[in-house]
Structure 1
């Protein structure tokens, strides 16, 4: 049996062209279009040399250099989260955020989980009484609400 090899299977996940085609527009946008940084600013903030940054932005295909992973990520961190996500998207990852920053989805998660607990309490109390058949559900829902809200309370902050 002959095994077929598809050309796409031979290509690496992260190719030179993909890295260049991702990093070059990020640099051009930040420096030339938006003018948020100069090449010198990016050098000072990222530690990547001025000459190296300029080589990543070269127009001539023969002169353009492929950014190393360390350089691409160093520059991306300085440019901003959208740049970090663009670099990570090369390997199929995204939604990166600094680990020391609060998750912006946290309030939504809190509301969704809290509403689920409130829905149980509302259903059980709809007839105006919580009887022994509903006690286990309401206790679990109340415990769930407390667990969700405790970190935001003065009691939770004291712990």
Structure 2
């Protein structure tokens, strides 16, 4: 039997590999200042405005259990606290402490540096690539499609 001929480059494989490598690189760099990629993401979104744990989980693409674990880590580090929402007493707002705001600022410098370094390898203007990727993410790749096969996100191995 002949191998089917590819007519389009393996976009799924490229995106999967690139995303995984970028995440591992960010994880290694952020770990040096005591943050995980999840912690950094939650801190930045929580600093933007008051958000509930559920809202932050959606923005950070985290499931409920992972979000609880991440907020627990942020609280242990002194970077965030859970407080009751003023508008919904059933909800909890994740409030960033001054130490958390400082950590997020340091973390964002790391994230920005890593992103700049990665984008500097492109042959053309980095803004063109980022705009094209944003077009995909806002358009045909905006939302997962339900699948009977239950596609899961890749997970980093536990240490």
Query: Normalization by structure 1: what TM-score?
Result: 0.27
Normalized per residue, the structure richer in strand is: 2
Normalized per residue, the structure richer in helix is: 1
Question: Between Structure 1 and Structure 2, whose CA radius of gyration is higher?
Answer: 1
Q: Which has the higher contact order (CA 8 A, sep 6+)?
A: 2
